[in-house]
Amino acid sequence: MYIHMKLFYPFLFILFVSSCQVRQSNQHTKKSQEFSQGAVVTAHPLASQIGVDILQQNGNVVDAAVAVQFALAVVYPNAGNIGGGGFMVYRDHSGETTSLDFREKAPGKAHRDMYLDKAGEPITDLSLDGQLAAGVPGSVAGMEEAHKKFGSLAWTTLLAPAIALAEQGFALTARQAKEFNAHQERFKRLNKNGAEIIRERPWRAGDIFIQKQLANTLKRIAEKGSAGFYTGETADLIVAEMKRGNGIISHADLKNYRAVWRQPIVGSYKNYSIISMPPPSSGGIALLALLQSVEKYPLQEWGFQSDSTVRAMVEAERRVYADRATHLGDPDFYNVPVAYLTNKAFNQERMKQVSLKKATPSDQVKAAKFPGYESEETTHFCIVDNKGNAVSLTTTLNGSYGAGVWVDGAGFLLNNEMDDFSVKPGTPNLYGLLGGKANAIQPEKRMLSAMSPTIVEENGKLKMVIGTPGGSTIITSVFQGILNVLEFDMDAQASVSAPRFHHQWKPDRIDVEEGAIATDIRQRLEKDGYTQYKRGNIGRMENIIVLPNGKLQVGADPRGDDFAAGY
Ligand code: DON
């Protein structure tokens, strides 16, 4: 098996072109593909194919997810990772659900003001670039935990494809070559000892990217499980990397890291059940609150991105993000009022006061008060196996290529997830998000996330597996993806291709992607107080829909190299 993979993967890219089982969905006009047994949608064709290979070897959905997570760490270094973290939402064919939190944690030596200067002002980029930006990575512990509970194939089988890709290399897509080149200056500045991605000659599409150090790290993980990462040689290399910069992750931090199984957020929207990620992600709570907020509006009748639809969605987003900034943080450290925030009556009552004629200025919208309470780059994949088990998994280094630091000798990138904490109340993070006490830095605490891996049921049956990267826009993108299918009759491909918009309370503006919201509607919105900001791509969403005939309809976001495969 291992030998076979080693020989096979370097040439896999070429095989894609001729493969009839794997079909690319790269244009806006592309129709949804359908598969009958299993489907895998990820940000990279090679990772999708590896997932399908595992399913075809009789692996289950979690086996495939583990193999895909490790493969993405090799072929999609922007966000695929072993040096970051993520969340997995799982639903088995009988309807049992759970979620796995393998989010990074603040190191033991972290403290509230660690990114502030003497005058109490945030030091530019300190929580984004370099060793100090990194939280204690969670991905390897997460994969081991998922495999222990649900896996059926051998751990080494799941690591083998990633090891082969790292060792033998793989052909870069045009987009990847361009991105590698665009980041060279940052990589050189942050990696004084060099890194395999750094080279003088520009990268070109089709160049083979070999990562020997990463291959060796993956081999240690294959051999020893998470101990091959959190202890021994890899841990020594991580701690040595910390000392090369201003980092504070210690051997004890690594050794003590644990992934945590959590009760997912489950709630209803009409006759659908929404199953999504609980804190320390804000995703599940905010997504459910958004859906509940718009449930009573006749969205279907109003239509996709119609004037009223946009107003209702934006006004809901403004309020839900205000609550997010105040009430959400790591539940192990902060008492998150989950029941209040996901109470349908509360969300719907609040929307009754809202005018859809004029924008409510965000300054007039304050987070709700509850009795007893004070107060771009990530990647998503969806997998369904032939038994109907489903995984929705979002994983990240936070910014593209994380902290920009490769652990020297271990060949993987450190995350810059510490920036997801509220570095200072009132100071926006990389995504413009605000926070306060709930999400202040404390040792061992998990930073708040927006990642929203989600599964939707219809009348108790699996309906949809969906998620996306996009920082603060993740929640509103998943919100739109779900409504696109449930209200606006889109198929899987259309639901992820459709242009998107976003409001996050502050800054008080609608972010509008190219092609989103018709011009005449945008003009009316402007007149009624809705400031708009035109921007580039929002997210890279993946979606698998289970059709009434049991077929799996897949949608891979055309904004990237995203790819749907199946059999
Ligand atoms: O956990 C979060 O919410 C962020 N670290 C996600 C970052 C992200 O999605 C960047 N991708 N474009």
Cβ burial, residue 567 (10 Å; 0-12/13-18/19+)? middle
Q: How far apart are CA 467 and CA 98, in angstroms?
A: 16
How, if at all, do strands 532-535 and 510-513 pair?
Answer: parallel
Q: Kindly report the protein residue whose alpha carbon is nearest to atom 5 of ligand 1.
A: 398
Q: Which amino acid is at 468?
A: T
Per residue in 297-332, pLDDT (tens digit) is 999 999 999 999 999 999 999 999 999 999 999 999
pLDDT of residue 373: 60
Instruction: Compute, in angstroms, the gap from residue 416 CA to the centroid of ligand 1.
Output: 10
> Which one of 379, 413, 416, 431 would you pick to mutate in the ligand 1 pocket, going by the greatest count of ligand atoms within 8 A of its CB?
431
Number of H helices, E strands in the chain: 20, 20
Confidence at 426, pLDDT banded by 50, 70, 90? confident
Binding site, residues? 103, 396-398, 420, 471
DSSP letter, residue 416: -
Per residue in 221-271, pLDDT (tens digit) is 999 999 999 999 999 999 999 999 999 999 999 999 999 999 999 999 999
- Tokens 């759970």, residue located: 98
| Dmax (CA) of the chain | 65
> Which one of 321, 396, 421, 538 would you pick to mutate in the ligand 1 pocket, going by the greatest count of ligand atoms within 8 A of its CB?
396
Q: Kindly report the protein residue whose alpha carbon is nearest to atom 12 of ligand 1.
A: 376
The residue-averaged pLDDT of 62-85 equals 98
pLDDT of residue 507: 95
Q: In this model, does residue 219 exceed pLDDT 50? A: yes
Ligand 1 atom nearest 473 alpha carbon:
9
Q: Kindly report the protein residue whose alpha carbon is nearest to atom 1 of ligand 1.
A: 449
Q: Is the Cβ–Cβ distance between 127 and 419 less than 8 Å? A: yes
- What helix, strand, coil percent values describe the chain, rounded to 5? 40, 20, 45
pLDDT of residue 11: 42
Q: How far apart are CA 14 and CA 202, in angstroms?
A: 22
Q: How far apart are CA 531 and CA 511, in angstroms?
A: 9
Q: Which residues contact 271 (CB under 8 A, 6 or more apart)?
A: 458, 459
Q: Kindly report the protein residue whose alpha carbon is nearest to atom 2 of ligand 1.
A: 449
Ligand 1 atom nearest 450 alpha carbon:
3
Ligand 1 atom nearest 469 alpha carbon:
9
Instruction: Compute, in angstroms, the gap from residue 196 CA to the centroid of ligand 1.
Output: 25
Per residue in 526-551, pLDDT (tens digit) is 999 999 999 999 999 999 999 999 99
Per residue in 367-423, pLDDT (tens digit) is 998 876 644 589 999 999 999 999 999 999 999 999 999 999 999 999 999 999 999
SS3 442: coil
Ligand 1 atom nearest 420 alpha carbon:
5
**Protein residues with CB under 6 Å of any ligand 1 atom:** 376-378, 396, 398, 417, 420, 449-451, 469-471, 474
Query: Which domains are seen in the chain, by residue range?
Result: 29-111+127-257+396-418 (no CATH), 264-377+451-566 (3.60.20.40)
> Which one of 72, 398, 400 would you pick to mutate in the ligand 1 pocket, going by the greatest count of ligand atoms within 8 A of its CB?
398
Q: How far apart are CA 118 and CA 563, in angstroms?
A: 48
Instruction: Compute, in angstroms, the gap from residue 363 CA to the centroid of ligand 1.
Output: 25
Q: How far apart are CA 190 and CA 402, in angstroms?
A: 11
Instruction: Compute, in angstroms, the gap from residue 223 CA to the centroid of ligand 1.
Output: 31
Confidence at 293, pLDDT banded by 50, 70, 90? very high
Whole-number percent of the chain with pLDDT over 70 = 94
Confidence at 173, pLDDT banded by 50, 70, 90? very high
Q: Is the Cβ–Cβ distance between 446 and 455 less than 8 Å? A: no
Instruction: Compute, in angstroms, the gap from residue 88 CA to the centroid of ligand 1.
Output: 15
| Closest by CA position to 293, among listed 271, 328, 275, 318 | 318
Confidence at 21, pLDDT banded by 50, 70, 90? very low
Among 6-20, 27-41, 85-99, the range scoring the smallest mean pLDDT is: 6-20
The residue-averaged pLDDT of 269-292 equals 98
pLDDT of residue 19: 33
For residue 148, give Cα distances in angstroms to 81, 144, 199, 259.
20, 6, 39, 12
Give the ranges where 132-282 is alpha helix by DSSP (H).
139-150, 155-168, 174-182, 184-190, 212-224, 227-230, 232-244, 251-256
- Tokens 């009223």, residue located: 308
| Closest by CA position to 180, among listed 82, 46, 77 | 77
Binding site for L-glutamate, residues? 103, 396-398, 420, 471
Ligand 1 atom nearest 468 alpha carbon:
9
Q: Is the Cβ–Cβ distance between 327 and 343 less than 8 Å? A: no
Q: In this model, does residue 350 exceed pLDDT 90? A: yes
Query: How far separated are the first and last CA of the chain, in Å rounded?
Result: 20
- Catalytic machinery residues: 378
Cβ burial, residue 263 (10 Å; 0-12/13-18/19+)? exposed
Q: Which amino acid is at 73?
A: A
Q: Which tokens hold the place of 505?
A: 């309370």
Q: Which tokens hold the place of 384?
A: 């369904």
Provide the b/e sequence for 37-69 (b: ≥16 CB within 10 Å).
Answer: bbbbbbbbbbbbbbbbbbbeeebbbbbbbbbbb
DSSP string, 238-283: HHHHHHHTT----HHHHHH---EEEPPEEEEETTEEEEE--TTBSH
Q: Kindly report the protein residue whose alpha carbon is nearest to atom 6 of ligand 1.
A: 471
Instruction: Compute, in angstroms, the gap from residue 421 CA to the centroid of ligand 1.
Output: 12
DSSP string, 366-380: -----TT----EEEE
pLDDT of residue 7: 39
Please report the sign of the dihedral spanned by the C-alpha atoms of residue 65, residue 67, residue 70, residue 76.
negative
Q: Which tokens hold the place of 474?
A: 């993740």
Q: Is the Cβ–Cβ distance between 528 and 13 less than 8 Å? A: no
